[in-house]
Every structure is written in C-alpha cells, then in structure tokens.
C-alpha cells in the first residue's frame, strides 16, 4: 500500500516535468533542475542560488549589483572615517575620562546619560566627513579608528608622561562602551 502510493505520487511529478518542457536548469548549476527564475534578470536559478528578497526571488548577481548601487562610498572614505574617529577619540577621551572620573558617583550617571548621544554625534560627524556616502565597512573602520586613537593615547602618555597613568576612569569606560555601540548602530546603512 505504502509502496504503491509512493510510486503513484513520484511518477506524475516526473512526467509533468518532462511533458511540460518547462523544467529549467540553474544558470550556475547546469545539472540542477529548477522552476525558479530571478525576477530581475529572468535567469533560471536553483534554491541554492536564489535569495528571497522583499520583492521575490533574485539571483546573487542581481543582489550584489543592487548593493553596489546602494554602497556608493569610495575606498578612501573608509580611511577618512578611520582618521576622524582616531582624531576625535584622542581629543575627547582624555577630557571626558578626566571629567567623569572627578565625580565617582555622578560620573556613572552622566556617562549613562551622554554616552549614546556622544556616539551618535561621532557617527554624524563621520557620515558628514565621508560626504554622506554609504559604505559597507565604514563602521568597521570607525571602530578601528577609535581603538587606534586609544592605543596612540596610551603610547603618547607612556613616552612623554611616564609618571602619570593613562586617565582611565570607570565612568569613562562606561561612556566609551555606550558611545561605541551608538556609533556602530548609527553607521549602519
């Protein structure tokens, strides 16, 4: 019974495919049969190659093309973001960290209140300095810039002011974490 049903359901599927002549072969996998087409370029694509978008199935090539139109940043924009982030970090961190560290208790409250805003402002400055162009990696370079700014500050402090410790206060760290999260989210295009 089971075997008969199994055969019965398997055969029509095969014949329909053969008779209809509508079986397509994936453009990237010539051996894979498919019924799907990319709804932009019309190329036959198998399930592995298809990407479901808001407007239907598309091939990877069409999606990449779309992204390339969307991401219009130049390579040097990444480095602008990197430099601006490093520069702002080096100027702002010593001041912010010192000020927040002066008020052990209120420092935390102030850090929590202004951290995210400061991060968003940094994101805004960076977006402006790259001419509002959209880039895949701008926020990665921004984060790298912030870390590099920190490291340079540490290096400078150790070389020129070896007696003083790098001004790191706990409220300052909270501020830095909040600011970096906000900047990261702000720079998501």
Q: Which residues bind Zn ion (CB under 5 A)?
A: 26, 28-29, 38, 40-41, 46, 48-49, 59, 62
Among residues 59 and 174, whose Cβ is nearest to Zn ion?
59
Least gap, CB of 117 to Zn ion (angstroms)? 42
DSSP 3-state of 171:
helix
Query: What does the block give as tokens for 120?
Result: 């968003």
73's tokens: 């940043």
Nearer to Zn ion, 40 or 140 (CB): 40
130 token code pair:
């790259």
Give the nearest distance from C-beta 38 to Zn ion in angstroms: 3
Per the DSSP assignment, residues forming a β-bridge with 94 are none
Q: Minimum distance from CB of 43 to Zn ion (Å)?
A: 5
Burial class (CB in 10 A: 0-12, 13-18, 19+), 68: exposed
- Complex with Zn ion: residue 53 or 185, whichever CB lies closer: 53
Query: Cα dist. 40→60, 74, 176, 179 in Å?
Result: 11, 27, 44, 40
Considering the complex, state which of residue 50 and residue 180 has its C-beta at the smaller distance from Zn ion. 50
Which positions ≥6 away from 138 have C-beta within 8 Å? 73, 77, 78, 81, 126, 130, 187
Least Å distance, CB 71 to Zn ion, is: 18
For Zn ion, the closer CB: 11 or 53: 53
Closest distance to Zn ion from the beta carbon of 57 (Å): 9
| Distance, CA of 118 to CA of 114 (rounded, Å) | 6
């Amino acid at each position: 019974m089971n075997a008969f049903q199994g055969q019965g359901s398997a055969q029509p599927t095969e014949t329909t495919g053969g008779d209809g002549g509508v079986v397509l072969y994936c453009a990237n996998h010539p051996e894979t049969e498919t019924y799907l087409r990319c709804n932009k370029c019309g190329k036959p694509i198998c399930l592995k190659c298809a990407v479901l978008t808001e407007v239907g199935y598309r091939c990877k090539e069409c999606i990449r093309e779309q992204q390339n139109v969307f991401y219009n940043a130049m390579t040097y924009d990444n480095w602008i973001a990197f430099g601006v982030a490093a520069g702002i970090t080096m100027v702002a961190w010593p001041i912010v960290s010192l000020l927040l560290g002066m008020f052990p208790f209120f420092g935390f409250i102030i850090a929590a209140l202004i951290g995210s805003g400061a991060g968003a402002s940094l994101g805004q400055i960076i977006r402006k300095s790259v001419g509002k162009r959209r880039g895949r990696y701008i926020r990665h370079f921004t984060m790298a810039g912030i870390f590099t700014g920190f490291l340079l500050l540490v290096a400078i402090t150790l070389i020129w002011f070896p007696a003083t410790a790098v001004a790191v206060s706990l409220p300052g760290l909270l501020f830095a974490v909040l600011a970096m999260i906000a900047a990261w989210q702000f720079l998501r295009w």
